[in-house]
Protein backbone atom coordinates (compact mmCIF):
# COMPACT_ATOMS: atom_id res chain seq x y z
CA UNK A 1 0.00 0.00 0.00
CA UNK A 2 2.85 2.38 0.68
CA UNK A 3 3.71 2.85 -2.96
CA UNK A 4 3.30 5.58 -5.53
CA UNK A 5 0.11 5.03 -7.54
CA UNK A 6 0.79 4.13 -11.16
CA UNK A 7 -1.59 6.85 -12.35
CA UNK A 8 0.29 9.78 -10.87
CA UNK A 9 3.75 11.08 -11.57
CA UNK A 10 6.24 11.87 -8.84
CA UNK A 11 5.37 15.35 -7.53
CA UNK A 12 8.09 17.89 -8.16
CA UNK A 13 8.83 19.37 -4.79
CA UNK A 14 10.66 22.64 -5.14
CA UNK A 15 14.19 22.00 -3.88
CA UNK A 16 14.17 25.06 -1.61
CA UNK A 17 10.70 24.16 -0.32
CA UNK A 18 11.80 20.62 0.52
CA UNK A 19 14.85 22.01 2.31
CA UNK A 20 12.65 24.33 4.35
CA UNK A 21 10.41 21.45 5.41
CA UNK A 22 13.38 19.29 6.41
CA UNK A 23 14.94 22.15 8.37
CA UNK A 24 11.71 22.35 10.35
CA UNK A 25 11.40 18.54 10.58
CA UNK A 26 14.95 17.10 10.31
CA UNK A 27 13.82 13.47 10.62
CA UNK A 28 11.00 13.89 8.14
CA UNK A 29 7.32 14.81 7.94
CA UNK A 30 4.13 13.25 6.57
CA UNK A 31 1.36 15.11 4.78
CA UNK A 32 -1.94 13.25 4.90
CA UNK A 33 -5.55 13.51 3.81
CA UNK A 34 -8.70 11.39 4.14
CA UNK A 35 -11.89 11.08 2.19
CA UNK A 36 -14.90 10.07 4.28
CA UNK A 37 -18.64 9.42 4.16
CA UNK A 38 -19.26 12.68 6.05
CA UNK A 39 -17.70 15.28 8.34
CA UNK A 40 -18.24 13.67 11.76
CA UNK A 41 -15.51 11.27 12.97
CA UNK A 42 -17.78 10.06 15.77
CA UNK A 43 -20.36 8.88 13.21
CA UNK A 44 -18.95 8.72 9.67
CA UNK A 45 -16.46 6.34 8.05
CA UNK A 46 -13.11 6.63 6.23
CA UNK A 47 -13.16 5.63 2.56
CA UNK A 48 -9.65 6.73 1.49
CA UNK A 49 -6.35 7.30 3.31
CA UNK A 50 -3.40 8.83 1.50
CA UNK A 51 -0.11 10.37 2.53
CA UNK A 52 3.19 11.68 1.20
CA UNK A 53 6.28 11.20 3.35
CA UNK A 54 9.25 13.54 2.97
CA UNK A 55 12.49 12.41 4.64
CA UNK A 56 16.20 13.07 4.07
CA UNK A 57 16.13 9.88 2.00
CA UNK A 58 13.45 11.04 -0.43
CA UNK A 59 9.69 10.94 -1.03
CA UNK A 60 7.34 7.97 -0.60
CA UNK A 61 3.57 7.49 -0.75
CA UNK A 62 0.66 5.72 0.87
CA UNK A 63 -2.59 5.56 -1.10
CA UNK A 64 -5.50 3.26 -0.26
CA UNK A 65 -9.26 3.11 -0.72
CA UNK A 66 -11.18 1.66 2.24
CA UNK A 67 -14.42 -0.33 2.32
CA UNK A 68 -16.61 1.52 4.87
CA UNK A 69 -19.09 -1.39 5.13
CA UNK A 70 -21.98 0.96 4.38
CA UNK A 71 -23.32 2.90 1.42
CA UNK A 72 -21.56 6.18 0.62
CA UNK A 73 -24.07 9.06 0.56
CA UNK A 74 -24.57 10.54 -2.89
CA UNK A 75 -23.85 14.06 -1.62
CA UNK A 76 -20.30 12.99 -0.67
CA UNK A 77 -19.84 11.01 -3.89
CA UNK A 78 -20.60 14.27 -5.71
CA UNK A 79 -17.67 15.90 -3.88
CA UNK A 80 -14.86 13.34 -4.14
CA UNK A 81 -16.12 11.00 -6.86
CA UNK A 82 -15.50 7.83 -4.84
CA UNK A 83 -18.38 5.43 -5.48
CA UNK A 84 -19.58 2.29 -3.72
CA UNK A 85 -18.37 0.27 -6.71
CA UNK A 86 -14.85 1.69 -6.31
CA UNK A 87 -14.50 0.62 -2.67
CA UNK A 88 -16.41 -2.68 -2.65
CA UNK A 89 -13.30 -4.85 -3.02
CA UNK A 90 -11.03 -2.64 -0.90
CA UNK A 91 -9.69 -3.68 2.51
CA UNK A 92 -11.47 -2.55 5.66
CA UNK A 93 -10.16 0.04 8.09
CA UNK A 94 -8.90 -2.58 10.57
CA UNK A 95 -6.49 -3.80 7.89
CA UNK A 96 -5.50 -0.41 6.48
CA UNK A 97 -4.92 1.64 9.63
CA UNK A 98 -2.03 -0.44 11.07
CA UNK A 99 -0.25 -0.31 7.71
CA UNK A 100 -0.79 3.43 7.47
CA UNK A 101 0.78 4.09 10.87
CA UNK A 102 3.66 1.77 10.05
CA UNK A 103 4.25 3.94 6.97
CA UNK A 104 4.27 7.16 9.04
CA UNK A 105 7.12 5.90 11.29
CA UNK A 106 6.02 8.13 14.18
CA UNK A 107 6.85 11.30 12.21
CA UNK A 108 4.95 14.59 12.60
CA UNK A 109 1.69 14.64 10.63
CA UNK A 110 0.44 17.62 8.61
CA UNK A 111 -3.10 17.98 7.24
CA UNK A 112 -5.27 20.84 6.02
CA UNK A 113 -7.98 21.37 8.65
CA UNK A 114 -6.22 18.63 10.60
CA UNK A 115 -8.78 18.54 13.40
CA UNK A 116 -11.19 16.70 11.10
CA UNK A 117 -8.76 14.18 9.55
CA UNK A 118 -7.06 13.32 12.81
CA UNK A 119 -10.40 13.00 14.57
CA UNK A 120 -11.21 10.11 12.23
CA UNK A 121 -7.83 8.47 12.81
CA UNK A 122 -7.98 8.85 16.59
CA UNK A 123 -11.53 7.52 16.84
CA UNK A 124 -10.69 4.47 14.73
CA UNK A 125 -7.48 3.82 16.65
CA UNK A 126 -9.44 3.63 19.87
CA UNK A 127 -12.33 1.67 18.36
CA UNK A 128 -9.87 -0.94 17.06
CA UNK A 129 -7.89 -0.84 20.32
CA UNK A 130 -4.66 -0.09 18.45
CA UNK A 131 -1.66 1.47 20.16
CA UNK A 132 -1.62 5.24 19.79
CA UNK A 133 1.76 6.50 18.62
CA UNK A 134 3.10 9.83 19.82
CA UNK A 135 2.70 11.84 16.62
CA UNK A 136 2.74 15.63 16.71
CA UNK A 137 -0.18 16.98 14.67
CA UNK A 138 0.12 20.19 12.63
CA UNK A 139 -2.55 22.02 10.62
CA UNK A 140 -1.47 23.59 7.33
CA UNK A 141 -4.62 25.73 7.23
CA UNK A 142 -3.96 27.17 10.69
CA UNK A 143 -0.32 27.88 9.85
CA UNK A 144 -1.23 29.47 6.52
CA UNK A 145 -3.57 31.89 8.31
CA UNK A 146 -0.69 33.14 10.47
CA UNK A 147 1.97 33.05 7.74
CA UNK A 148 0.27 33.75 4.40
CA UNK A 149 -1.68 36.76 5.56
CA UNK A 150 -4.51 38.74 3.97
CA UNK A 151 -5.81 35.96 1.72
CA UNK A 152 -9.44 35.96 0.63
CA UNK A 153 -9.72 32.26 1.34
CA UNK A 154 -7.67 29.58 3.10
CA UNK A 155 -9.35 26.68 1.37
CA UNK A 156 -6.78 24.24 0.06
CA UNK A 157 -7.85 24.61 -3.57
CA UNK A 158 -7.64 28.40 -3.44
CA UNK A 159 -4.24 28.43 -1.71
CA UNK A 160 -2.91 25.88 -4.19
CA UNK A 161 -4.02 28.06 -7.09
CA UNK A 162 -2.49 31.22 -5.62
CA UNK A 163 0.79 29.48 -4.71
CA UNK A 164 1.17 27.69 -8.03
CA UNK A 165 0.71 24.22 -6.51
CA UNK A 166 -0.46 21.53 -8.91
CA UNK A 167 -3.79 20.19 -7.67
CA UNK A 168 -5.32 18.25 -10.54
CA UNK A 169 -7.66 16.06 -8.50
CA UNK A 170 -8.96 18.18 -5.64
CA UNK A 171 -10.93 16.18 -3.05
CA UNK A 172 -8.97 13.01 -3.73
CA UNK A 173 -6.82 12.19 -0.76
CA UNK A 174 -3.35 11.82 -2.30
CA UNK A 175 -3.52 15.06 -4.26
CA UNK A 176 -4.85 16.95 -1.24
CA UNK A 177 -2.19 15.41 1.04
CA UNK A 178 0.59 16.60 -1.27
CA UNK A 179 -0.95 20.06 -1.69
CA UNK A 180 -1.42 20.45 2.07
CA UNK A 181 2.23 19.63 2.77
CA UNK A 182 3.35 22.06 0.06
CA UNK A 183 1.13 24.80 1.54
CA UNK A 184 2.85 24.15 4.86
CA UNK A 185 6.23 24.47 3.14
CA UNK A 186 5.22 27.77 1.57
CA UNK A 187 4.11 29.03 4.99
CA UNK A 188 7.53 28.19 6.44
CA UNK A 189 9.23 29.85 3.49
CA UNK A 190 7.13 33.01 3.86
CA UNK A 191 8.06 33.35 7.54
CA UNK A 192 11.72 32.97 6.67
CA UNK A 193 11.41 35.59 3.93
CA UNK A 194 9.96 38.00 6.51
CA UNK A 195 12.77 37.06 8.90
CA UNK A 196 10.25 35.87 11.47
CA UNK A 197 10.58 33.02 13.92
CA UNK A 198 9.42 29.67 12.59
CA UNK A 199 6.89 29.37 15.45
CA UNK A 200 5.69 25.90 14.51
CA UNK A 201 3.89 25.73 17.85
CA UNK A 202 1.24 28.01 16.35
CA UNK A 203 0.39 25.28 13.83
CA UNK A 204 0.43 22.38 16.29
CA UNK A 205 -3.05 21.39 17.41
CA UNK A 206 -2.32 18.37 19.63
CA UNK A 207 -0.42 15.10 19.97
CA UNK A 208 -2.04 11.72 19.49
CA UNK A 209 -1.00 10.71 23.00
CA UNK A 210 -3.29 13.47 24.32
CA UNK A 211 -6.26 11.18 23.63
CA UNK A 212 -6.09 8.96 26.70
CA UNK A 213 -9.77 8.27 27.50
CA UNK A 214 -11.35 6.23 24.68
CA UNK A 215 -14.53 5.66 26.68
CA UNK A 216 -15.24 9.40 26.43
CA UNK A 217 -15.50 9.15 22.63
CA UNK A 218 -18.96 7.62 22.83
CA UNK A 219 -21.86 9.95 22.06
CA UNK A 220 -24.06 10.84 25.05
CA UNK A 221 -27.54 9.36 24.75
CA UNK A 222 -29.27 12.73 24.40
CA UNK A 223 -26.92 13.68 21.50
CA UNK A 224 -27.49 10.55 19.41
CA UNK A 225 -30.77 11.80 17.85
CA UNK A 226 -28.82 14.84 16.64
CA UNK A 227 -26.84 12.71 14.15
CA UNK A 228 -29.14 13.29 11.11
CA UNK A 229 -29.32 17.02 11.92
CA UNK A 230 -25.51 17.19 11.83
CA UNK A 231 -25.31 15.12 8.64
CA UNK A 232 -27.70 17.53 6.88
CA UNK A 233 -26.36 20.62 8.71
CA UNK A 234 -29.95 21.30 9.71
CA UNK A 235 -30.48 24.21 12.09
CA UNK A 236 -31.09 23.43 15.76
CA UNK A 237 -31.64 25.48 18.91
CA UNK A 238 -29.89 24.40 22.09
CA UNK A 239 -29.27 25.35 25.70
CA UNK A 240 -25.60 25.31 26.66
CA UNK A 241 -24.20 25.28 30.20
CA UNK A 242 -21.33 27.67 29.42
CA UNK A 243 -20.50 30.82 27.51
CA UNK A 244 -22.10 34.25 27.35
CA UNK A 245 -25.64 32.91 26.85
CA UNK A 246 -25.48 30.27 29.58
CA UNK A 247 -28.55 27.99 29.75
CA UNK A 248 -30.47 30.11 27.22
CA UNK A 249 -31.74 28.90 23.86
CA UNK A 250 -29.46 29.74 20.96
CA UNK A 251 -29.66 28.80 17.25
CA UNK A 252 -26.72 26.79 15.89
CA UNK A 253 -26.04 25.24 12.49
CA UNK A 254 -24.25 21.95 13.27
CA UNK A 255 -21.30 20.93 11.10
CA UNK A 256 -19.60 17.94 12.73
CA UNK A 257 -19.26 15.80 15.84
CA UNK A 258 -15.56 15.66 16.68
CA UNK A 259 -13.31 14.01 19.26
CA UNK A 260 -10.77 16.32 20.92
CA UNK A 261 -8.30 15.64 23.74
CA UNK A 262 -10.52 17.44 26.27
CA UNK A 263 -13.70 15.66 25.15
CA UNK A 264 -16.13 15.37 22.27
CA UNK A 265 -17.50 18.53 20.69
CA UNK A 266 -20.19 19.77 18.35
CA UNK A 267 -18.53 22.04 15.80
CA UNK A 268 -21.02 24.46 14.32
CA UNK A 269 -21.93 28.01 13.41
CA UNK A 270 -23.41 30.11 16.19
CA UNK A 271 -25.94 32.36 14.47
CA UNK A 272 -25.85 34.90 17.29
CA UNK A 273 -22.13 35.64 16.91
CA UNK A 274 -22.02 34.61 13.23
CA UNK A 275 -18.91 32.56 14.08
CA UNK A 276 -17.91 28.91 13.96
CA UNK A 277 -17.49 27.56 17.49
CA UNK A 278 -16.84 24.34 19.40
CA UNK A 279 -19.45 23.22 21.93
CA UNK A 280 -18.56 20.49 24.44
CA UNK A 281 -21.16 17.73 24.16
CA UNK A 282 -21.10 17.34 27.93
CA UNK A 283 -22.34 20.94 28.28
CA UNK A 284 -25.24 20.74 25.83
CA UNK A 285 -28.17 20.70 28.25
CA UNK A 286 -31.06 20.45 25.76
CA UNK A 287 -31.53 20.75 22.03
CA UNK A 288 -34.38 20.58 19.53
CA UNK A 289 -35.51 21.61 16.07
CA UNK A 290 -36.70 25.27 16.04
CA UNK A 291 -40.45 25.73 15.77
CA UNK A 292 -40.07 28.03 12.76
CA UNK A 293 -37.84 30.72 11.23
CA UNK A 294 -39.55 33.39 13.32
CA UNK A 295 -38.29 31.69 16.49
CA UNK A 296 -34.74 31.62 15.12
CA UNK A 297 -34.81 35.33 14.29
CA UNK A 298 -36.37 36.16 17.66
CA UNK A 299 -33.67 34.24 19.55
CA UNK A 300 -30.90 35.93 17.58
CA UNK A 301 -32.40 39.35 18.35
CA UNK A 302 -32.89 38.58 22.04
CA UNK A 303 -29.44 37.15 22.62
CA UNK A 304 -27.73 40.00 20.77
CA UNK A 305 -29.78 42.57 22.72
CA UNK A 306 -28.47 41.05 25.96
CA UNK A 307 -24.93 41.96 24.92
CA UNK A 308 -25.68 45.68 24.49
- pLDDT tens for each residue of 151-194: 999 999 999 999 999 887 767 889 999 999 999 999 999 998 88
Question: Residues 54, 115: one domain?
Answer: yes
Domain extent for 95: 15-211
From 45, 156, 56, select the one nearest 110 (Cα to Cα): 156
Q: How far is CA 259 from the centre of its chain?
A: 11
pLDDT in tens, 189-237: 999 888 888 889 999 999 988 886 655 678 999 999 999 999 999 999 9
- Residue 171 is among the residues annotated as catalytic for this protein: yes
Residue 279 above 60 pLDDT? yes
Residue 17 pLDDT class (50, 70, 90 cuts):
confident
Residue 54 above 50 pLDDT? yes
**Average pLDDT for 228-253:** 95
CATH number at 292 reads: 2.30.30
User: Which comes out higher in pLDDT, residue 48 or 150?
Assistant: 48
The pLDDT value given to residue 166: 83
Question: Residues 204, 233: one domain?
Answer: no
Q: Which helix (H) or strand (E) holds 206?
A: strand 204-207
* Domain finish residue from 191, 211, 231: 211
The pLDDT value given to residue 53: 94
pLDDT in tens, 71-85: 999 999 999 999 999
28 and 55 Cβ atoms separated by less than 8 Å:
yes
Question: Residues 281, 243: one domain?
Answer: yes
Question: Residues 195, 233: one domain?
Answer: no
Residue 14 above 90 pLDDT? no
Question: Residues 252, 197: one domain?
Answer: no
> How many angstroms separate the Cα of 74 from the Cα of each of 66, 172, 179, 252, 308?
17, 16, 25, 25, 45
Question: Residues 121, 229: one domain?
Answer: no
Question: Residues 143, 178: one domain?
Answer: yes
The pLDDT value given to residue 134: 87
Note the pTM of the prediction, 2 decimals.
Answer: 0.91
Percent of the chain with pLDDT over 70: 94
From 80, 112, 135, 171, active-site residue: 171
Residue 15 pLDDT class (50, 70, 90 cuts):
confident
Residue 137 above 80 pLDDT? yes
138 and 184 Cβ atoms separated by less than 8 Å:
yes
The answer to whether residue 204 is domain-embedded is: yes
Measured distance CA(131)–CA(41) in Å, rounded: 18
Residue 88 pLDDT class (50, 70, 90 cuts):
very high
Measured distance CA(78)–CA(4) in Å, rounded: 25
pLDDT, mean over the chain:
91
The pLDDT value given to residue 184: 97
Q: Which residues contact 26 (CB under 8 A, 6 or more apart)?
A: 56
Lowest mean pLDDT among 5-9, 134-138, 223-227: 5-9
217 and 43 Cβ atoms separated by less than 8 Å:
no
What is the total count of domains within the chain? 2
Amino acid sequence: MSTKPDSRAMPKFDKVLAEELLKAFPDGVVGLDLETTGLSPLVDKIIEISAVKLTPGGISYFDQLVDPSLDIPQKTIDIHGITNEMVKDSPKIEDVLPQFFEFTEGLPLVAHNAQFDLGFLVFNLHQLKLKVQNHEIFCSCKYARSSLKNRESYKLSRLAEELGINLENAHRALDDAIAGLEVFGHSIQERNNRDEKLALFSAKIFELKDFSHPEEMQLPEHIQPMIPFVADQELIVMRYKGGTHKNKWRPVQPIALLPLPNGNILYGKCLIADLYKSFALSKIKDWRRPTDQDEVERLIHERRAELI
